[in-house]
Structure 1
Amino acid sequence: MAFDIPRNQILPVDVVDVRLDPEPHPFERDNAEAIAANWAAEKALKPAMFDGTVVLLSELAYAENRLTGHCHAVRFSTFMLWRKLKPISSAEHSFAHAMLISSDNALVAIRMGAHTVNAGKVYFAAGSFEPEDFRDGLVDLDYNMAREVREETGLELGEARGEERCYALSGDTGTAIVRCYHLAETADEVAARIERFVAGDPDPEIEGPVIIRGMGDLPDNLMPHMRPLVEWHFSKG
C-alpha cells in the first residue's frame, strides 16, 4: 500500500482506519546513529525539547471516503531527523486538525511559542499522534483533537458542535485530517478565552490565538498546508 492518496486535494473522509503497529518503524531502525547525532545538534539549539514518543506512518491509502494506514511509535528525535530529511519514501506524518469556526464565521488558529519546534508558526491547535491516542490499536481522532486543543488553548471541544464528516489534505510528506467545530462565541470572545488561559499557564505551548477572517487576512508565518484549508472554508460562504 505504501502511500496511495491523492495529493493537494481536500478529500471527504467518513472512516479513518489508521492502526498502531507494534513493530519498530523501519526509518528509526535503520538510522540510529544519524538520529542520535541530529538530536544532539537540535538539543543544543533548543535545550527544552524532550525526546518523548510520537508516531510516524509507514502506510496510508485513500479510497471510497476511507483512510487506511499503519503507523509506529517512534522517539521525537526520530521525528526530528525525518523532518529534516523529508520526503522519505518509507515514512510520512499525519495529524488531526480541529478547525475552530466562530459564530461570526472566522477561523481561530494559534501561533506557537518561541521555545517550540514550530516557533512562530500559525496553524490550528494540533499535535502529532501519540500512543495514548489509540484505542485497541486504532487511532481516536476525537480524543487527540480534544487533548491537543485543551492543552494548547484551554478550550473544550465538547462545548462545540463537531461536524460528522472529516476531510483530509495530503502533501508530499504529510496528511492533515480535519474536523470542523462550530463555536457559539464570536472570534473575539474565543480569542479572549485563549489569551486568559495562556496568561495563567506557567509553561504555555503557544504565544496566543490568531483570528483569520478571510483570504485577505492571512497572518505571517502561516503553515503552507493552512492556506488551502482557509480558502476552502471561506469559499463555502
Structure 2
Amino acid sequence: MSFDLPRNVIFPVDVVDVRLDPRPHPFALANEQAIADNWRREISANPALFDGTVVLLSELGYRDNRLVGRCHAVNYATFMLWRKRRENSGAEHAYAHAMLVAGDNALVAIRMAAHTVNAGRVYFAAGSFEPIDFRDGLVDVDFNMIREVGEETGLDLSVAERGKRYHAMSTSSGTVIFRRYRKTASADEIASRISAFVATEEQPEIEGPVIIRDAADLPEGLMGHMKPLIEWHFAGGD
C-alpha cells in the first residue's frame, strides 16, 4: 500500500484503521548512527528535549472513507532525524487535532512554549500518537485528542460535543486527522481557563491560547496546515 492518499485537500474519514506494528521501523534500522549523531546536536541546542516514544507510519492509504495503515514505535531522536530526511524516507507522520469550537463559533488554538521544538507556532493543542493511544494495536484517535488537549490546556473534552466524523488533510509534512469538539462557553471564557491552567504549570508546553474568530483572523506563527482547516470551519465544512 505504501502511501496512497489525496494530497492537499480535506477529505472525510469515517474509520481510522491504523495498526501498531511491534517490529522496528525500517527507517530507524537503516539510520541508527545518524540518529544518535543528530540527537547529540539537537539536545546540545535545546537541552529541554526529551527522548520519548512516538510513532511513525510505514504505510497509509485512503479508500471508502477509511484511513488504513501501519505504524511503528520510534524514539523521539528517530523522529527528529526523520523530520530532516522525510523525502523518500519510506516513512510519514500522522497526528490528530481536536478542533476546539467555542459557543460563539470561534476557534481556540494554542501557541507553543519557547522551549519546545515548535516554539512560537500556532495550531490546535495536539501531540504525536504514542503507544498509549493504541487499544489492542489499533489507534484510538479521540483518546489521543482528549489526552493531549488535557495535558496542554487543562480542558476536559471527554464530555464535549463531537463532530459526526473525522476529516483529514495530507501534505508533504504529514497527515492531520481532525474533528470538531464543541464547548458551550465563549472563546474568551475558554481562553481564560487555559491561561489559568498554564499559570499553574512549572514548565508548560504552551505559551497560551490563541482565539481565531474568522477565516481572515490568522495569527502570526500559524502552522502551514492550519489555514485550510480554519477556512473549512468558517465555510461551514461538514
Task: Give the TM-score band, short-chain normalised.
Answer: over 0.9
Give the secondary-structure state (helix, strand or coil) at the position aligned to 1:199.
Answer: helix
Q: Could you tell me whether the CA contact under 8 Å between 1:159 and 1:183 is conserved in 2?
A: no
Local SS of the residue matching 1:82: helix
Residues in 2 aligned to 1:33 and 1:88: alpha-carbon distance in whole angstroms? 19
Instruction: State the Cα RMSD in Å.
Output: 0.9
- Structure 2 equivalent of residue 80 of structure 1: 80
Q: Is the 8 A contact 1:107 1:211 kept in 2?
A: yes
Structure 1 position 174, deviation (Å): 0.8
Q: TM-score, normalised by structure 1?
A: 0.98
Q: Does the 8 A contact of 1:56 with 1:91 survive in 2?
A: yes
Could you tell me how far 1:163 is from its partner in structure 2?
1.2
> For structure 1, which runs of at least 5 residues remain unmatched after alignment?
none
Match of 1:179 in 2: 179
Specify the alignment match of 2:114 in structure 1. 114
1:163 maps to which residue?
Answer: 163
Secondary structure of residue in 1 paired with 2:216:
helix
Query: How far apart, CA to CA, are the structure 1 residues paired with 2:153 and 2:41?
Result: 30
Distance in 2, Cα, partners of 1:159 & 1:205 = 23
Aligned to 2:232: 232
For 1:88 and 1:159, locate their aligned partners in 2 and report how far apart those are by CA, in whole Å: 41
Question: What is the rounded CA distance, in whole Å, between the counterparts of 1:103 and 1:58 in structure 2?
Answer: 39
- Counterpart residue number, 2:152: 152
Aligned match of 1:22: 22
Q: Secondary structure at the match of 1:217?
A: coil
**Correspondences of 1:203-222 after superposition (within 5 Å):** 203-222=203-222
- How far did residue 89 of structure 1 move? 4.0
Asked whether 1:123 is paired with 2:126, we answer: no
Q: How does 1:65-104 map to 2 (within 5 A)?
A: 65-104=65-104
Q: Which amino acid aligns with 2:91?
A: A
Aligned residue pairs, count: 237
Deviation at 1:86, TM superposition (A): 2.1
Q: CA deviation at 1:125?
A: 0.4
Whichever residue aligns with residue 226 of structure 1, its letter is: M
Unmatched runs of 5 consecutive residues or more in structure 2: none
The C-alpha deviation readout for 1:142-173, integer Å capped at 9, x for no partner, is: 11111100000000012310112000110023
Distance 1:187 1:76 in 2: 33
1:92 & 1:109 partners in 2: Cα distance? 24
Task: Name the residue aligned to 1:62.
Answer: 62
Residues 190-223 of structure 1, C-alpha deviations (whole Å, 9 max, x = no match): 0000000000111210000000011221001100
Q: Is the 8 A contact 1:87 1:173 kept in 2?
A: no
Percent identity over the alignment is 65
Aligned to 2:40: 40
